[in-house]
Amino acid sequence: MFDTYLIKYGEIGIKGKNRHVFEDALAKQIRLALAKIPGEFTVRHERGRVYVHCEGEWEAGETVDALQHVFGIVGICPVHTYETRDPEALKSDILDYVSREYADRTATFKVKVRRVDKEFPGTSMEIAADLGEVILEHFPNLSVDVHNPDIMFDIEIRDTVYIYSEIIPGPGGMPVGTNGSAMLCLSGGIDSPVAGWMIAKRGVSLDAVYFHAPPYTSERAREKVVDLARAVSAYAGPIRLYVVNFTDIQMAIYDHCPHEELTIIMRRYMMRIAEHFAKERGNLGIVTGESIGQVASQTMQSLMTTNAAVTLPVYRPLIGFDKNEIVEVAEKIGTYETSILPYEDCCTIFVAKHPVTKPVLEIIERSEAKLKGVVEELVEEAIRTVEVVRV
């Protein structure tokens, strides 16, 4: 009966105690993902394998899709299970399996047996040879190739017999929750959701911060960011999205600082506020969607100047990506369609015609000094009035 998935996971380098942490986190994330869809699922791990047993109103496509959102999973194998205790019955099991899955296919195959139940008669090699023979007898369209088979029949003999041959790719990476947490600066653009996804893929859970500037940015722009946070959370798990009203800070910068430095000074205040919430949450770093040279505020000089505003590490997973490479990931993870909706973001309203492309930290700091006595209270106010959206 097809009612189980065998979950293959990577990162074999993880040993000893860490292995348990990894497996527990993986099982937890699998349960969370499956809780969102109909069906009753039992997740158990034993001896380096994770199995998902499915009952009730479950549906294969939906289940695989849910599993493909769980980082740490490398492969998802649909498994047929058989309650078999003797070699003859095992032969009819394999015939049942092959006739269901491969009756009409012309292909080469190999049989691999893992005899975990040592009571079961015969060696793994003998059982594999017997099963190969019986397949050849009944399916003339199938032939053996032990070196490079089209189909690998994997048979595991445990308390139950598991037969599988298909491996559906998972997203890879490490289970969320195994590597601390980070604060994602999430705008409505294409890049930052991808950046968050990439950090989450390494096992990091996320919080996020969005700076909006009502009435210059609309409610729909804000909704778009909430939607993007939700799309990222389909992989990264629950996210606390801090929505910060940035209007007054932005206006103050506009009034007091040289206009060609607006963007860079704004970015520095965003980073400071992001860091405030990050520290409050115990996050171990800040994540942005920046990539070298993409725009004026992302030259090496600009990145250095923005970076200097905070002490927490700033992670920029897209740093070496071209735009088309970022778009490719955005499409794959399902954020692209939302990201390209044409709602203004708070940076585009106040951009200067000729922004500095090579800011010098000392000069920027001198400009920021003009905000003294004005900006402190505005920053406090922005922090105090933050709205937290849980997605």
Is residue 193 close enough to count as binding Mg ion by CB under 5 A? no
One of 9, 41, 58, 210 touching ligand ATP (CB under 6 A): 210
One of 187, 205, 299, 302 touching Mg ion (CB under 5 A): 187
One of 93, 154, 191, 207 touching ligand ATP (CB under 6 A): 191
359-387 burial, b at 16+ Cβ within 10 Å, e below that, comes to beeeebeebbebbeeebeebbeebeeeee
Which is nearer to ligand ATP, 297 or 367 (by Cβ)? Answer: 297
| Binding letters toward Mg ion, positions 323-362, x by CB under 5 A | ----------------------x-----------------
- SS3 helix, strand, coil % of the chain, rounded to 5? 45, 20, 35
State the amino acid at position 271 in one-letter form.
Answer: M
Tokens for 32?
Answer: 């969370």
Q: What residue is closest to ligand ATP based on CB?
A: 189
Indicate the pairing of strand 73-82 with strand 2-9. Answer: antiparallel
| Binding letters toward ligand ATP, positions 211-240, x by CB under 6 A | x-----------------------------
Which is nearer to Mg ion, 205 or 250 (by Cβ)? Answer: 250
Tokens for 88?
Answer: 């003859």
CB atoms within 10 A of CB 223: 14
CA–CA separation, 27 vs 12, rounded Å? Answer: 16
Is residue 306 close enough to count as binding Mg ion by CB under 5 A? no
Is residue 275 close enough to count as binding ligand ATP by CB under 6 A? no
Is residue 203 close enough to count as binding ligand ATP by CB under 6 A? no
DSSP assignment of 289-305, as one string? ---TTSSGGGSHHHHHH
One of 295, 351, 361, 389 touching ligand ATP (CB under 6 A): 295
Tokens for 259?
Answer: 């206009």
Contacts of ligand ATP in 149-188 (CB under 6 A): 185-187
Which is nearer to Mg ion, 42 or 348 (by Cβ)? Answer: 348
147-183 burial, b at 16+ Cβ within 10 Å, e below that, comes to eebebebbbbbbeebbbbbeeeebbebbbbbbbebbb
Are residues 193 and 335 in contact, defined by beta-carbon separation less than 8 angstroms?
A: yes
Which of ligand ATP, Mg ion, none has residue 289 at its interface (CB below 5 to 8 Å by kind)?
A: ligand ATP
Which is nearer to Mg ion, 297 or 307 (by Cβ)? Answer: 297
Which of ligand ATP, Mg ion, none has residue 190 at its interface (CB below 5 to 8 Å by kind)?
A: ligand ATP
Is residue 317 close enough to count as binding ligand ATP by CB under 6 A? no
Kindly list the residues in this chain that would bind ligand ATP in the complex (CB under 6 A): 185-187, 189-192, 209-211, 270, 288-290, 294-295, 297-298, 345-347
